[in-house]
Chain A
Amino acid sequence: MLKITDLVKRYGSGDPVLKNLDLTIEGESVVSIIGSSGAGKSTLLRCINRLVEPSSGSIELNGTELTKLRGRNLRAARRKIGMVFQGFNLVDRLTVMENVQSGRLGYISTWAAIMRRYPKQDIRRAYELMERVGIAHYANTRADQLSGGERQRVGVVRALMQDPEILLADEPTASLDPKTSEQIMGLLRDLAGELKLPVLINIHNVTEAKEYTDRIVGMRYGRIIFDDKPAQLDQEAMDRIYSGSPHADRSEDLRQAS
């Protein structure tokens, strides 16, 4: 269970990007976060695995408080949080297998990683997962030879290799064409079910969010203003999430403050 309480993120001395945000993700649900650009979706996701340092508040994953961790403990916690990126973030010059195994870097020694001496069970697991998403025949291919959809599958398998307790996906389909995009969303939903894994997806495509996820969280300028089943997301809710401009919203805050 992921439990976020009173989370604030402020860059420099400006207006906070996340404003006292509370969110709980339970069980194996697939949750999508929607909202216009600048709403803080990406920051929220990155605060969870501490690629972005939260300013205050608490993030708890299955009983472990994440915001205070440092060094070795932080790395151990990150192993349990898989992440899928918008730009895939694969190492282009390495093979698909090396990319997939890089999800295990937190578990194996640096020496074993450099010498590419991966444990047998990791290799078996990699082949199973690659088989599952249909990229096993690419094991020895360099990552930059693959198409967008195939690359994102590598990204997903790499995240799953971590044996994660939660999967974060930061706009995983934004760089893909519509058809591939649906395939990846379907894959994320199916894998969540098969692996009993909660998945948190930032997404711009509301149609896909409605179709592939169990719950939709709507963010607007650092706050959650909608949190319900996809069926409840009506036009009025959509307008609330997507209307207005960051500027108007900020000046409103300023008026309230003064």
Chain B
Amino acid sequence: MSEARDTWRKPPFIANPVVRWAVYLGAIAYFLWVGATMPIDWGRVADGFGRAGRIFGGAFPPSFERSGLLIDGFLESLKIAILATTGGVLLSIPIAFMAARNVAPLPIYYLGRFVIIVARSFHPVIVAIIFVKAVGFGPFAGVLTLVVYSIGFVAKMLAERIEEIDFGQVEAMRAAGAPFFSTMFYAIFPQIMPRQIGLTIYQLDSNLRASAVVGIVGAGGIGATLANAFGRYDYDFALAITIVIVGAILISEGVSGMIRKRIG
């Protein structure tokens, strides 16, 4: 009987030593090359500190003088978020069913997946720029943008939940001769409902945040107010807006967390 070995090493991630060292050295060389060739102007960085100092200096103390404008902008953002969540979630449900492999026939499945991929592939800011071009400045463009954004997330997550359902319940309805929509409402909806509600609340929260961002490119809401304030060098007003946005997001996150815990 041979002596038991007392040394052990975790097998390397890349087994071939030549390939392994080539990959490591290549990665290091690339980083060095990027660092050497990126046009980083240290003079501008130094100037930037001074400019940032002026911005923050001008921002204190935050000015709530034009709070009417602030409240209007915030309420508009809230409206955008609520409308977009409602529309986006309502559209997400049929798309999610189309994109769930276990309930949709193959061509419909591909169509559903395609819609989701398209909705997910662009950042909301890019979608917002397109919609602002298409329907003009203002909250309508914001709503359309966030509808697309909501579909990308809610439909995808919901489709995954539908694919995880206990199919026995569907089978039981089928065995009773139930038509398609009755089967859906009795065997599938009850199973996905908790996830559906959770996703909706999360998406409302997320849309409120995103509505501030898309406003900057002209899609209405408090983001537009913020962009205007920066444009006019009203840094103290801009800080007030930022404080309100952060506060609103904190509150909405707390509320949505509480609701999701209760329905979980």
Contact = CB atoms under 8 A, between A and B. Distances in A.
Give the size range of A's interface with the partner. Answer: 20 to 34
Interface string B62-95: 0000000000000000000000000000000000
A51 B174 contact: yes
Contacts of A85: 168, 171-172
A47 interface: no
A246 B176 CA distance: 33
A103 B175 CA distance: 9
B11 interface: no
A167 B82 CA distance: 50
B21 interface: no
Contacts of A92: 190-191
A102 B168 contact: no
Interface stretch (A60-68, A72-80, A187-195, A198-206): A72-80
Interface in B169-189: 169, 171-179, 181-183, 185-187
Contacts of A94: 186, 190
A81 to B, nearest CB: 7
B243 interface: no
Given A85-B168, A113-B185, A93 B179 contact: no
Nearest to A78: B177
Contacts, number: 81
B177 A105 contact: yes
Contacts of A90: 169, 172
B104 interface: no
B82 to A, nearest CB: 25
B234 to A, nearest CB: 53
Contacts of B191: 91-93
B181 to A, nearest CB: 4
A106 interface: yes
B176 A89 contact: no
Nearest to B180: A110
Contacts of B183: 105
Contact of B173 (A87, A93, A102, A159): A102
A113 B182 contact: yes
A121 to B, nearest CB: 17
B263 to A, nearest CB: 12
A257 interface: no
B174 A110 contact: no
Contacts of B187: 91, 102
Interface in B145-182: 166, 168-169, 171-179, 181-182
B176 A78 contact: yes
A103 B177 CA distance: 8
**Interface of chain B, helix or strand or loop or mixed?**
helix
Interface centre among A89, A93, A105 (most CB of B within 10 A): A105
Interface in B181-205: 181-183, 185-187, 190-191, 193
Contacts of B169: 89-91
Contacts of A83: 172, 175-176
A94 B190 CA distance: 7
Contact of A105 (B166, B178, B190, B193): B178
Contacts of B186: 91, 94, 98, 102, 105, 113
Contacts of B177: 74-79, 105-106, 162
A82 B191 CA distance: 23
Contact of B178 (A51, A75, A98): A75
A114 interface: yes
B175 A78 contact: yes
Nearest to B184: A110
Nearest to B181: A110
A89 B182 contact: no
A41 interface: no
A49 interface: yes
Contacts of B190: 91-94
Given A94-B190, A102-B173, 17 more contacts: A51-B175, A75-B177, A81-B175, A83-B176, A85-B171, A91-B169, A98-B186, A103-B176, A110-B181, A110-B182, A113-B182, A113-B185, A113-B186, A114-B182, A114-B185, A158-B172, A159-B176
11 contacts: A51-B171, A76-B177, A83-B172, A92-B190, A92-B191, A102-B176, A102-B186, A106-B176, A106-B179, A110-B182, A110-B185
Which 3 residue pairs of A and B lie closest in terms of their CB atoms, listed nearest first? Answer: A106-B177, A105-B178, A78-B177
